[in-house]
Amino acid sequence: MTHRIGIIGGDGIGPEVITEGLKVIAAAGVVVDTVEYDLGGARYMRDGMVLSDEILEEWRGLDALYLGAVGTPEVPPGLIERGLLLKMRFELDLYVNLRPFVLPADGIDFRVVRENTEGTYAGEGGFLRHGTPHEIATQGSVNTRHGVERAIRFAFSLAMTRRRHLTLVHKTNVLTFAGDLWERTFNEVAEEYPEVETAYNHVDAACIYFVQSPQQYDVIVTDNLFGDILTDLGGAVSGGIGLASSANLNPDRTTPSMFEPVHGSAPDIAGKGVANPKAAILSGAMMLDFLGETDAAARVEAACVDPSTDVEGTVAIGDAIAGLLA
């Protein structure tokens, strides 16, 4: 079966690591029909375009999106993030951000399910008396029962396929409204999954446990902001950001899901051939798994942790992984 994949190489090292990801996908025997999209900071600097409605409509006809990295130093902070990444999540309803953290040598193997379309990233807020000594800035957190519940249900379903343990992370002692909604919803849905053991951590405690004893976790579910922070920390304690993969999922499959490495565009090393493509390759494996290519995905994941692939150079790493799959 041929899968139609939208490719967004993006900026910096993005195109380099995505090239290796596609090489590995081909070596795994999966046929993809790719459609290239020139998006990111460099595109914005050329003509001011970030993401058009026409491209969004094209994407609805694809099976998945595969993104390298976006952002350049010349572009104002937040412009690409809001205009491309967040817009993509909201418009395609990619309501689950799933990030795996695996480091077998240290006994680490857990997943974080991050609600991906609400919270403080929904854009609620504004300024009063902007630019004056009495300026006021508000940044609200939008949490709906619908949005919270569907993320929690996804997390419970995922836990059922693993070690059947799910931890809710929030800050219910201070964020009493949003926290109450999350905790009540979590407990109500838990009644439908008696096989799953549940736990709760305040987010500050979870940060400590991530560093001291991440082995205790199986699946974590949390909101958008806490998930953003925790998953970067998770990457740091499980081999580094160069190995951190992610999926922005529409579990209902009404739109294409998007898969990307967690790292940035790293313009300082772009073009030098030294970027580690494993995060992009592992994100590609997540894409294959979501598309039903489970055997190929498992083979790619196994190849990525094979010691023979611990070599230097972007292309050399890609070749080593592809060689194990041929």
Q: How far is CA 30 from the centre of its chain?
A: 22
**Mean model confidence pLDDT for the chain:** 96
Nearest of 99, 115, 110 to residue 282 by alpha carbon: 99
Could you tell me the residue ranges of all domains in the chain? 1-94+250-326, 96-243
| 125 to 19, 121, 137, 176, 224: CA distances (angstroms) | 39, 10, 7, 19, 16
What's the CATH architecture for 96-243? 3-Layer(aba) Sandwich (3.40)
Provide the strand spans (E) within 227-281. Answer: 245-249, 257-261
On the question of pLDDT at 271 being above 90, the answer is yes
Residue closest to 108 by CA, chosen among 202, 209, 197, 201: 209
Is the pLDDT reported for residue 77 higher than 90? no
Per-residue model confidence (pLDDT) at position 302? 96
Domain 1-94+250-326 and domain 96-243 have a common topology: yes
| CATH architecture, domain 1-94+250-326 | 3-Layer(aba) Sandwich (3.40)
Residues tagged active-site? 121, 171, 204, 228, 232
pLDDT greater than 90 at residue 38: yes
d(CA 139, CA 107): 39
- Inform me whether the pLDDT recorded for 1 exceeds 90: no
pLDDT band at 22 (very low <50, low <70, confident <90, very high): very high
User: What is the Cα–Cα distance from 94 to 79, expressed in whole angstroms?
Assistant: 19
Structure tokens at 150: 């569907």
Average pLDDT over residues 98-113: 96
Angle formed by the axes of helices 314-325 and 294-304, to 10°?
Answer: 130
pLDDT at 130: 97
- Region 105-112 average pLDDT: 96
**CA–CA dist 186, 167 (Å, integer):** 10
Task: Measure CA 24 to chain center.
Answer: 20
Which of 113, 95, 109 minimizes the C-alpha distance to 221? Answer: 113
